[in-house]
A = this chain, B = another copy of it.
Amino acid sequence: MVCAVVGLGLMGGSFALATKNYFQKIIGIDHNKSHQKEALALGLVDEISSLKEASIVADVIVLAIPIRGIINALKELSEYNLKKESLIIDFGSTKETIVNECPKNIRKNLVASHPMAGTEYSGPQAAIADLYKNRVMVVCNIEESGENQLKKAFDIFKHLEMNIKIMDATEHDRHAAFISHMPHIVSFSIANAVLKQEDKEHIVTLAAGGFRDMSRLAKSNPHMWRDIFKENKKNLLNSIEAFKSELKKAEEMIKKEEWEKLCKWMETGNELHKIM
């Protein structure tokens, strides 16, 4: 099988590395010329092409680009001569707009997926072969995908050693806000709060593992995350609200010196790791 990977950054590049022996050929597609060169030099892909040309020969097309780019690529693909059984997999971080805006004539070709994997780095250089291994792949609204496409997609995800979780797209977007989008806003808020302090350099000399963990997400790519936040605005604001309500509780217990109550509140928080 021939695979076309659209977007040769961390996600697309890592996918290509991990499926090198699975596909006969991997074609890379990227608007960014230097990403094209790097991906070839790093051996992530066998050749560089355009979406139009790749769509003719590809059995599998992976869209590892931002959400708006995915929607545009789907519109383009709906006008090309795809192979009838072509599988399109998108890796968009939010899923509702993608399944809603996918042109009807290629909806069966699409398996809407979200790999719960990533690092704070980006670009072809950041690609790693085991990025997806043992991670969760959320697959949304499977009843709208073709049977053969779904079978093929699941086979690829199993080759990546991923755990497949089937979910409704609406539900996925709400969950993703809690598990990923809101924590990013929180991490950036911590980073900016420290940077606003006059003696910031002095403060960070005290940084140990805990602070490094809490501020790691603030290394993430602002443009990428702006687009994700934009797509998931409503859910993101709801999850920020839920977070703020807990923070407010803690703050008031501290102000009122309700230490035993604060202790109980923390004990509840400890429970998270029993279900995770």
Which chain A residues have a beta carbon within 8 Å of chain B's beta carbons? 116-119, 135-136, 138, 165, 167, 171-172, 175-176, 178-180, 182-197, 199-220, 222-223, 225-226, 229-230, 233, 236-237, 239-240, 242-247, 249-251, 254-255, 257, 259-260, 262-273, 275-276
Closest residue of chain B to A227 (Cβ to Cβ) is: B259
By a CB distance below 8 angstroms, the chain B residues around A220 are 266
User: How far is B43's CA from A118's CA once the two chains are assembled, in angstroms?
Assistant: 41
Per the bound structure, the CA–CA distance linking A85 and B214 in Å amounts to: 41
Q: How many Å lie between the Cα of A264 and that of B88 in the bound state?
A: 34
Interface hub of A216, A263, A267 (most chain B Cβ within 10 A) = A263
Q: Is the CB of A244 within 8 A of B247?
A: yes
Given the complex, which residues of B lie within 8 Å of A167, measured CB to CB? Answer: 202
| Interchain CB contact (< 8 A) of A214 among B118, B175, B186, B268 | B186
Is A179 in contact with B203, judged by CB distance below 8 angstroms?
yes
A136 lies within 8 A of B205 (CB)? yes
Cα(A203)–Cα(B204), bound, Å: 33
Complex Cα–Cα for A191 and B246 (A): 9
A236 to B, closest residue via Cβ:
B254
Inter-chain contacts of A218 with B (CB < 8 A): 266, 269-270, 272-273
Q: Of B185, B210, B213, B269, which contacts A192 at CB under 8 A?
A: B269
